[in-house]
Amino acid sequence: MADNPNPNLDAETPATPPKKKGVKRRAFLIGSALLAGGGAFGLYWGDSSARSRAKALTETGKDHNFLSWMKIGEDDRVTVYSPHIDFGQGSHTGLAQMLADELDADWSKVRVEQAPADSAFANTPLGRGFLAEVSGAPGVINALPTAIISMITRSMPLQITGGSSALRFTGQVGMRTVGAAVRLALIEEAAARLGVPANELTTADSKVSHAKSGKSLRYGELAAGAAGRSLESSPKLKDRKDYKLIGKPIARADIPAKVDGSAVYGIDFKLPNMRVATISAAPVRGGKLLSVDEKPAMAVSGVEKVVRLDDAVIVVAKGYWQALKGLQALAPKFSDGGHSGVSTASIYAAQDALRKAGKPDNEGGEGDVDAAFGAAGAKLIEADYRVPFLHHAMMEPFALTAQFKGGKLEFWGGLQDPLSARVRAAKAADIDVDDVVFHPMIMGGGFGRRFPDVTEIIDQVAILAKQVPYPVKLIWSREEEVQHGTYRPQSSAHLKAALDKNGKIAAWRTDYVQSGDAEAETSFIYAIPATSRRHFNYQSNQIDGPWRSVNSTQIGFYNESFMDELALASGQDAYQFRRKHLPEGSRYQKVLDEVAKRSGWGSELPKGVGRGIAIVESFGTIVAEVVEATTKDDGSPKLLKAWAVVDCGTTVNPLNAEAQISGGMIMGLSSAIGEAINIDKGAVVESNLADYQILKLADAPPMIDVHFIESGAKMGGIGEPGVPPASAALANALFAATGKRIRTLPMLTQAKA
């Protein structure tokens, strides 16, 4: 059976736990998008006008565009346009592999380019995938015509990189389908030119061949005619056994330029006569600029201008160091916005009070949890967990360059949603979005920090550009970037469960408090008769935002730490206890069994060394991890070995997938051990990487083993799912080693306690 182009239909449906009922707040956004898509803007951006614009933006006269996604040159070169930004996740190469495999293209002639930040390149397959996933009605969404989905995604507008969505949505639904459809069009064109039936033709290495006559035609020869043909909307995709590129460890296309230094990031970008600026915002989020004496900055050589914003001050100079020196010479006065009493401790206290008040803003689950808790013979287990604000700690701080000229704004930099970046910049500059041009660039890290809705630098550079008569690059210092992040929410949770007389979980309740809604990217994978998840919404003065794997880091730590506590209370092995609560014969059990086998679970360990296990499903991918750890003389964790087993359905590029999982695991371990953003008197305490403690290479596990199970199930994401199990696996390992249970992160605070 061929792989189904519809990502919501599996070739094989595995056994899964019962679906949990819950309120879908994001369904409101779907309704809004449908209305917008049916409006005038959506009609304007119908498929035909979008394709015409895409052709105008990409064709040079010697190549031919297909569906905005790709073009074929007369020299046989295939150019794939990625609507996703590359910031180290390797999706450009994976997307090209998927399209080229279905196209039967010669890989040596395939190139990937960043799609322009233009609504003609809005991501329709991603829109369909996201809408199906968050609406709770995938059947309805997948029944909608592509033209309707296209109008919705262009009117939203949608061109994001996030949610581990590139390969599982854009690749599976978009790139493969386009590759297969264009291949058929090339065959039809060749059949017409050669005067032979299409079913007698084969394709390979960017050629269409006719075995009987020995004739063949290059894709470049056929491109012009094929581009004028109607494309099949639902072409048959290849069977897994016929893959030539999918599943192969192909070297990433972006690596050479990053190694030889030719890659240009936003912080590297230069224009003639460009000035450089840097900024200092109110230390307390919500505070305002009260006053500033500009004279000390203007006295610094090279400084040309001081710009006041509502909540910040900017210094513009001929270079960054002059701008920074000028900024440091200032003594701006800011208000605290009434938030001087906010601290890490006060936030936790407020969260506890909100939860104990017992009025959740959203809840889901099934069965009668309270009845199970009150049943005769039930053994009740309860625990409280806390996790701090987390910073994204991107390698490259924010840097955007902008120029305002002739009533139009042009800007350059690395952001995770180019189309929405244009919209936000237009609003800040008070001009029409059609008068804004954004040039997306590669990024030195992102992890959710570079989404336009949480990226104030877009507003700042747009306002700044209107006040100076030359191009200007605005750079945030590392201190500014650390102290004005959009952090993963500080969160707390109370978990309660009942064990029956057989040591099985009869009921489970999670009450958790943080900003946002009750949606999570984490599935509750255990088959338990009664479950309840109640969310209490709390917002501090900080701006929260998505952090790599979003809510799965908090929920994964809570659930998998608590599963160990329940296993202990029932007198059972942590691995076997989990296994008994997973559907028999399911993908979950297979992943869990494999990681236990590969890690030597149950074998003897030296004294003071422990193993911990955790399994989390997020973004459609199941990941089980085992960490082996001990403690140093000061009580801090020492990582020894780590294992991960992954079922993402199909692994497109094993080399890159392994890097993503191992990198995600290290990020999860780092955040668990030492990372935390603390608040005192309303302001962030940490100021640089010296006090925001990221795991050093010397302290990472010397050995990480990553293994993939090719189940053929619906494709899942790969960029984020390696993160969530890591913190719980380590906490469980340290309990096994020391007998000390860690319920509050980061762990270094526990070691020092």
Q: What is the pLDDT of residues 560-593, one digit of tens each?
A: 999 999 999 999 999 999 999 999 999 999 999 9
pLDDT at residue 618 above 80? yes
Strands 408-413 and 399-405 turn out to be antiparallel
Topology of domain 275-337+398-475, CATH: Aldehyde Oxidoreductase; domain 4 (3.30.365)
* Omega cis (within 30) before 157: yes
Specify the DSSP class assigned to residue 487: B
Q: Within the chain, what is the greatest distance between any pair of CA atoms?
A: 84
Q: What's the whole-number mean pLDDT along residues 188-198?
A: 98
25 pLDDT tier (thresholds 50, 70, 90): very low
Rounded mean pLDDT, 361-386? 95
- Local confidence band at 520 (pLDDT 50, 70, 90 cut-offs): low
Q: Which of 417, 435, 428 is nearest to 464 (CA)?
A: 428
Confidence of residue 129 (pLDDT cuts 50, 70, 90): confident
Question: Could you report the per-residue pLDDT of 624-676, keeping only the tens digit for each?
Answer: 999 999 999 999 999 999 999 999 999 999 999 999 999 999 999 999 999 99
Structure confidence at residue 750 (pLDDT) = 81
- The SS3 of residue 647 is strand
Supply 294's token pair.
Answer: 């500009």
Kindly tell me the burial class for residue 12, based on how many C-beta atoms sit within 10 Å of its own C-beta (0-12, 13-18, 19 or more): exposed
The CATH architecture that domain 345-389+487-752 belongs to is 2-Layer Sandwich (3.30)
Give the separation between CA 341 and CA 344, rounded to whole angstroms.
10
Instruction: Provide the 8-state DSSP code for 121.
Output: G
* Surface-to-core class of residue 271, CB atoms within 10 Å of its CB (0-12 exposed, 13-18 middle, 19+ buried): middle
Using the CB atoms, write b or e for 249-260: b if 16+ within 10 Å.
Answer: ebebbbeeeeee
In this prediction, residue 30 carries a pLDDT of: 41
How high is the pLDDT of residue 593?
98
Residue 655, classed as helix, strand or coil, is helix
Joined together, the tokens standing for residue 554 give: 């908090």
Q: What is the pLDDT of residues 318-340, one digit of tens each?
A: 999 999 999 999 999 999 999 99
Number of neighbours of residue 285 by Cβ within 10 angstroms: 21
> What's the whole-number mean pLDDT along residues 289-300?
98
Section 294-299 average pLDDT: 98
What is the rounded average pLDDT of the residues 73-82? Answer: 98
Which tokens in the block code for residue 130? 């996201």
pLDDT of 149 above 60: yes
Give the DSSP H or E segment for 21: strand 21-22
Residue 15: its pLDDT value, please? 39
Classified by CATH at the fold level, domain 21-254 comes out as Aldehyde Oxidoreductase; domain 4 (3.30.365)
Task: Report the C-alpha gap between 312 and 571 in whole angstroms.
Answer: 57
Predicted confidence at residue 299, as pLDDT, reads 98
Backbone angles phi, psi at 459, to 5 degrees: -60, -45
Amino acid residing at 56: A
- Helices within 430-471 (DSSP H only): 457-465
| Residue with tokens 């200032």, as numbered in its chain | 330
pLDDT in tens, 459-515: 999 999 999 999 999 999 999 999 999 999 999 999 999 999 999 999 999 999 999
Query: N- to C-terminal Cα distance for the chain?
Result: 58
What are the C-alpha distances in Å from 512 to residues 492, 496, 614? 6, 11, 20
Radius of gyration of the chain (CA): 27
Domain ranges across the chain: 21-254, 275-337+398-475, 345-389+487-752
SS (H, E, C) 84-99: CCCCCCCHHHHHHHHH
Compute the average pLDDT of residues 411-436.
Answer: 97
- Matching fold, domains 275-337+398-475 and 345-389+487-752: yes
Cα–Cα dist 603/641, whole Å:
14
**Mean pLDDT, the chain, whole residue set:** 92
pLDDT of 33 strictly over 60: no
Reported confidence tier of residue 517, pLDDT bands at 50, 70, 90: low
> For residue 521, what pLDDT is reported?
52
SS3 138: helix
Q: Which residue has the tokens 């090339």?
A: 186
pLDDT in tens, 678-698: 999 999 999 999 999 999 999
Q: Which two tokens stand for residue 702?
A: 């010397």
Cα separation, 589 vs 176, in Å, equals: 30
